[in-house]
Chains A and B, each alone.
Chain A
Amino acid sequence: GDSVTQMEGPVTLSEEAFLTINCTYTATGYPSLFWYVQYPGEGLQLLLKATKADDKGSNKGFEATYRKETTSFHLEKGSVQVSDSAVYFCALSPRGGYQKVTFGTGTKLQVIP
């Protein structure tokens, strides 16, 4: 079945540091890929997505590129802020019909001033 593996956390960075959160997936066909963010005490919000190979999703300074050859969708940001502290989830969804979204276990990011 489908699966998503993302790096263990927590990740602690200083403000303005470069962020990478690794995500790899296993799926049949060509799924859509997502990053969701969860701030403390809240539900998840879509951060960015990519629907086909070589697509780059971007939002709020975050980027991730759909790499079919390495089955990866790593999240990056050039300069993190304290307000980026949250839990980040990588996810995939197969195409068509009912979509059962598969989530990674989440990576907690803490940014310190």
Chain B
Amino acid sequence: SQTIHQWPATLVQPVGSPLSLECTVEGTSNPNLYWYRQAAGRGLQLLFYSVGIGQISSEVPQNLSASRPQDRQFILSSKKLLLSDSGFYLCAWSLEGGELFFGEGSRLTVL
């Protein structure tokens, strides 16, 4: 069966520090991969999606970047965090059919 893992689960970082959140999918090949952000009490904002290795599309211009170095690995990064980067980050994958499978989420607090 397919599984998705993302880490770390919780992260507290100072403003201006770098960020790396990782996500891996097991049990499937060539999935579409996504990074979403959920601000406190708000809905989901799609940040990046990827349909293949090295193929990244950005939905919202911002302080973040994403990379897909392997078929089932998706990384969210920042060189210098801002206070506004705080939130709950969710990785997800899908195949045909549109159904998304989400990871457990990573809560980032920027101080």
Interface string of B75-92 (1 = CB under 8 A from A): 000000000000000101
Q: Which residues of B contact A49 (CB under 8 A)?
A: 99
Whether B90 contacts A43 by the Cβ 8 Å rule is yes
Name the contact of A100 in the complex, choosing from B49, B101, B102, B105 (C-beta under 8 A): B49
Whether A104 contacts B43 by the Cβ 8 Å rule is yes
Interface extent on A, as a size class? Answer: 20 to 34
Interface string of B92-111 (1 = CB under 8 A from A): 10101111111111010000
Interface extent on B, as a size class? Answer: 20 to 34
Q: Which residues of A contact B (CB under 8 A)?
A: 31-32, 34, 36, 41-46, 49, 51, 89, 91, 93-96, 98-101, 103-106
Whether A89 contacts B49 by the Cβ 8 Å rule is no
CA distance in complex: A42, B107 (Å): 10
| Also in contact, A32 and B97, with CB within 8 A (given A98-B49, A104-B43, A105-B43) | yes
Name the contact of A43 in the complex, choosing from B46, B96, B98, B105 (C-beta under 8 A): B105
